Amino acid sequence: MTDRLDADGYLLLRNTASHTQVEALRAAFDAGERPSEAWPVPRGRDWRHALVDLDPAVREVCRIPQALAAAGRLLGASFFLSQVEGREPCAGGGWQALHRDGGEPGPTQTVSVLIFLDRYGPQNGGTRVVAGTHRGAGLAAPAGVEHPATRALSGEAGDILVFDANLLHGATRNVSGARRRSLLAAYSLVSLRDELAKSRELRSVRMATDEVFEPPP
């Protein structure tokens, strides 16, 4: 599993959050949903966004051992939970061009984690990924052209996707209109803490970020 994670740059953990946890997370998402203009930086109007980082159920699921182990494997050094929020593509919306959360490829500094709260797939905005593209820019497709190795992921509520922020990925369009709530968490190297602290308000981070996790041996 660790060799596959290193090579592909992502790992899909099936049935990781329990049914009880998923129900609590759905409630947190729906209670925390805010319109675009309520955020310090307005959000895309074809997505729903939820402010959830102070909810105890959200804090708990961000500490699931399997996800922390995978994130630590990719990061390879001490890290912390730097951000978590809820996202859901609206009916007819959600499409994203393939992109990297970490900008241009380089040393892994941040790992993104998607915790799915509903059944997901290419019909309701499920995520697609391109394995191995966290290793270098040369594997990217030209702008506007879908990468030939793109894989659209599908699964059930409770699945957790862990991926290098340098990995090419993007959401599909929610053509079915079915709900596809998720939590998007970011785990970053401790060395980035001071830099990220400067943008806390812009990123709507309210939670404490002083807890440190260690990578697996």
Over the chain (217 residues), the average pLDDT of each successive run of 10 is 88 98 98 95 92 98 98 97 98 93 83 98 96 75 77 98 95 97 98 96 96 95
CA triple 69-73-79, angle to 5 deg:
75
- In the chain, alpha helices (H): 2-8, 19-32, 56-61, 65-75, 193-197
Q: Beta-carbon neighbour count of residue 93 at 10 Å?
A: 18
Q: What pLDDT, on the 0 to 100 scale, is given for residue 138? A: 56
Q: Establish how many alpha carbons lie within 13 A of residue 46's alpha carbon, considering only the half-sphere containing its beta carbon.
A: 14
Tell me the C-alpha distance between 6 and 111, whole Å.
Answer: 13
Please tell us whether the domain made up of 2-197 is placed in CATH 2.40.50.140: no
Which tokens belong to 204?
């709507």
Which tokens belong to 13?
């953990």
Q: What pLDDT, on the 0 to 100 scale, is given for residue 142? A: 65
The CA-based dihedral angle spanning residues 94, 74, 81, 138, taken in that order and rounded to the nearest 10 degrees: -40
Closest CA to 163 of 42, 26, 70: 70
- Which DSSP string do the residues of 95-140 spell out, in sequence order? ---SB-TTSS--S--EEEEEEE-S-B-TTTT-EEE-TTGGG-GGGP
Tell me the C-alpha distance between 168 and 87, whole Å.
Answer: 19
Tell me the C-alpha distance between 158 and 17, whole Å.
Answer: 4
pTM for the full model? 0.95
